[in-house]
Amino acid sequence: MRTSHGETYKKCTSTLLKLILVATVIVIFIITISIQWNTQIVFGVYTKSVPTNVTPCAYLACSHSSNCTTRNKTCCAYVLKRSLDFLDAFFRRHNLPYVIIYGSLLGAVRNQTIIPWTRDIDIGFFNWTYLRSTSIQNELYQHGFYLFHTLDLTRICVHKDTLDKSLLLTQNVKQPPPTQIFHLHAYIDLYLATNSVNLTRNSSIYSIEFSGKFLSHISFKTNVTIDNQTYPTVDNVQEHLVHFYKKDYMRDVIPRRP
Ligand SMILES: *[C@@H]1O[C@H](CO)[C@@H](O)[C@H](O)[C@H]1NC(C)=O
Ligand SMILES: *[C@@H]1O[C@H](CO)[C@@H](O)[C@H](O)[C@H]1NC(C)=O
Ligand SMILES: *[C@@H]1O[C@H](CO)[C@@H](O)[C@H](O)[C@H]1NC(C)=O
Ligand SMILES: *[C@@H]1O[C@H](CO)[C@@H](O)[C@H](O)[C@H]1NC(C)=O
Ligand SMILES: *[C@@H]1O[C@H](CO)[C@@H](O)[C@H](O)[C@H]1NC(C)=O
Ligand SMILES: *[C@@H]1O[C@H](CO)[C@@H](O)[C@H](O)[C@H]1NC(C)=O
Ligand SMILES: *[C@@H]1O[C@H](CO)[C@@H](O)[C@H](O)[C@H]1NC(C)=O
Ligand SMILES: *[C@@H]1O[C@H](CO)[C@@H](O)[C@H](O)[C@H]1NC(C)=O
């Protein structure tokens, strides 16, 4: 069949219009899903098996007062310390290495404790495949902790139905369930520590990936003390702290987060 140039042109434009329409529908669909899931990276590998919903987390109204301690049960530092101790034992039992980093390392080096006004414990983690397995997620849940992924980080919170009621002492049941990470006052952040021998040519040097890479020497021999207990950390503690908090990290007041 012979068609005129005009007809071919019309066919082409209508096909093009259809394509644009389909693309628009797909984009709107993606945006809707992204908003519903309340996360930035719906298509990241992370979200494949890890929930992105914050709602199962307990709404804790724990205190961030500067005179708070890890022994005062109304303080967020208490919940954080208890969570860290549970995870330390849990990770050891599963042979999952981890390291204390960022603000948690800063608090440990400066005051041998958890910074009272912090919202999170920062952990560098190595084996995502294992951590994100359904069996690990279920086991964490049975012990009162919920693993989820939001705003580009895998995190762990105390969930609403934890049997350990001392972790829920400050729970505010009148509040609607949390819908955003900003509603949570105490949680664990897990940062991916990857080893690329090509990058470093040294298998004991890891890269901690968040807001710029930072290379850490990790031998699993260096410990840091928090409330008379030791936890594993990076080998280059000074370098790490200077890199993230500048050289006056022992004196400078680290700004509080909102
Ligand atoms: C526990 O912390 C809260 C909040 O900062 C404070 O009001 C309270 O006095 C503290 N209790 C003790 C026994 O230190
Ligand atoms: C802790 O600090 C709060 C204010 O941040 C103050 O009202 C309270 O009296 C302090 N408690 C103690 C035991 O010092
Ligand atoms: C911790 O130590 C630093 C300096 O070493 C100090 O400025 C700060 O007030 C101390 N207290 C807390 C709760 O972080
Ligand atoms: C992660 O854990 C799984 C399951 O134990 C294991 O098969 C795998 O080798 C581990 N990967 C790394 C990089 O340690
Ligand atoms: C690492 O480097 C080797 C040789 O230098 C190369 O063959 C290999 O593909 C590289 N691997 C990655 C993951 O880049
Ligand atoms: C790898 O890095 C560690 C820590 O910096 C160092 O002790 C070790 O000698 C290095 N190994 C090699 C083969 O360069
Ligand atoms: C670090 O702590 C672990 C476990 O608590 C212990 O086995 C190890 O000997 C400690 N290392 C150092 C250098 O203190
Ligand atoms: C740590 O140990 C010292 C001395 O043994 C003790 O005075 C202090 O209360 C302990 N701190 C905590 C948080 O357990």
> Tens digit of pLDDT for each residue in 153-165?
899 999 999 999 9
Question: Which single residue is written with the structure tokens 């004991």?
Answer: 204
Q: How far is the CA of 199 from the centre of ligand 5 (A)?
A: 9
Question: Which single residue is written with the structure tokens 């929930």?
Answer: 51
Q: Do 116 and 161 belong to one domain?
A: yes
* Total of domains in the chain: 2
Cα separation, 243 vs 225, whole angstroms: 21
Asked if the structure places residue 228 within a domain, the reply is yes
Q: Do 12 and 70 belong to one domain?
A: no
Any idea what the Cα angle at residue 190 is, between residues 249 and 72, rounded to 5°? 65
pLDDT band at residue 214 using 50, 70 and 90 as cut-offs: confident
Partners of 198 in beta bridges: none
Name residues contacting ligand 3 (CB within 6 A).
Answer: 110-111, 115-116, 250
For residue 200, give the ligand nearest its CA: 6
Question: pLDDT tens digits, residue range 163-188?
Answer: 999 999 999 989 899 999 999 999 99
Nearest to 109 by CA among 214, 206, 245, 221: 245
Asked if the structure places residue 252 within a domain, the reply is no
CA 113 to chain CA centroid, nearest Å: 20
- Ligand 6: which of 195, 196, 202, 205 to mutate, most ligand atoms within 8 Å of CB? 202
The better pLDDT of the pair 9, 218 is held by 218
Ligand 1 lined by 67 (C-beta under 6 Å): yes
Any idea what the Cα angle at residue 103 is, between residues 177 and 217, rounded to 5°? 125
Ligand 7 lined by 221 (C-beta under 6 Å): yes
Cβ atoms of 220 and 97 within 8 Å: the answer is yes
Cα separation, 122 vs 97, whole angstroms: 14
pLDDT band at residue 18 using 50, 70 and 90 as cut-offs: confident
- Ligand 2: which of 62, 65, 75 to mutate, most ligand atoms within 8 Å of CB? 65
Asked if the structure places residue 250 within a domain, the reply is no
Q: How far is the CA of 250 from the centre of ligand 3 (A)?
A: 8
Q: Which two structure tokens, joined as six digits, stand for 33?
A: 């899903």
Cα separation, 206 vs 43, whole angstroms: 25
Question: Which single residue is written with the structure tokens 């829920």?
Answer: 168
Ligand 3, atom 6: nearest CA belongs to which residue?
251
Q: Do 82 and 210 belong to one domain?
A: yes
Cβ atoms of 245 and 256 within 8 Å: the answer is no
Ligand 4, atom 10: nearest CA belongs to which residue?
127
Cα separation, 231 vs 5, whole angstroms: 75
Cβ atoms of 118 and 233 within 8 Å: the answer is no
Query: What mean pLDDT is predicted for residues 120-145?
Result: 93
Q: Do 29 and 57 belong to one domain?
A: no
Question: pLDDT tens digits, residue range 50-78?
Answer: 999 999 999 999 999 999 999 999 999 99
Position 255 pLDDT exceeds 60: no
Question: pLDDT tens digits, residue range 216-228?
Answer: 888 788 999 999 9
For residue 201, give the ligand nearest its CA: 6
Cα separation, 179 vs 38, whole angstroms: 8
Q: Do 137 and 227 belong to one domain?
A: yes
Task: Count helices and strands (H / E) in the chain.
Answer: 7, 9
For residue 68, give the ligand nearest its CA: 1
Q: Do 110 and 225 belong to one domain?
A: yes
Q: Which two structure tokens, joined as six digits, stand for 224?
A: 């840091």
Q: Do 27 and 132 belong to one domain?
A: no
3-state secondary structure 83-101: HHHHHHHHHHHCCCCEEEC
| Number of the ligand 3 atom closest to the C-alpha atom of 253 | 7
Q: Can you say whether the dihedral through the CA atoms of 28, 33, 39, 45 is positive or negative?
A: negative
Q: Do 28 and 60 belong to one domain?
A: no
- For residue 51, what pLDDT is reported? 92
pLDDT band at residue 20 using 50, 70 and 90 as cut-offs: confident
- For residue 245, what pLDDT is reported? 87
Q: Which domain holds residue 21?
A: 5-37
**Is residue 210 helix, strand or coil?**
coil
Ligand 8, atom 12: nearest CA belongs to which residue?
227
Name residues contacting ligand 2 (CB within 6 A).
Answer: 65, 67
Q: Do 193 and 129 belong to one domain?
A: yes
Q: Do 30 and 105 belong to one domain?
A: no
For residue 61, give the ligand nearest its CA: 1
Q: How far is the CA of 73 from the centre of ligand 1 (A)?
A: 8
Cβ atoms of 127 and 24 within 8 Å: the answer is no
- Average the pLDDT over each of 21-30, 34-43, 89-98, 108-117 and give the range with the smallest value: 34-43
Q: Do 32 and 57 belong to one domain?
A: no
Whichever domain contains 219, its CATH number is: 3.30.460
Query: What mean pLDDT is predicted for residues 244-248?
Result: 86
Asked if the structure places residue 99 within a domain, the reply is yes
The listed range with the strongest mean pLDDT (63-67, 129-133, 237-241, 246-250) is: 63-67
Q: Do 9 and 102 belong to one domain?
A: no
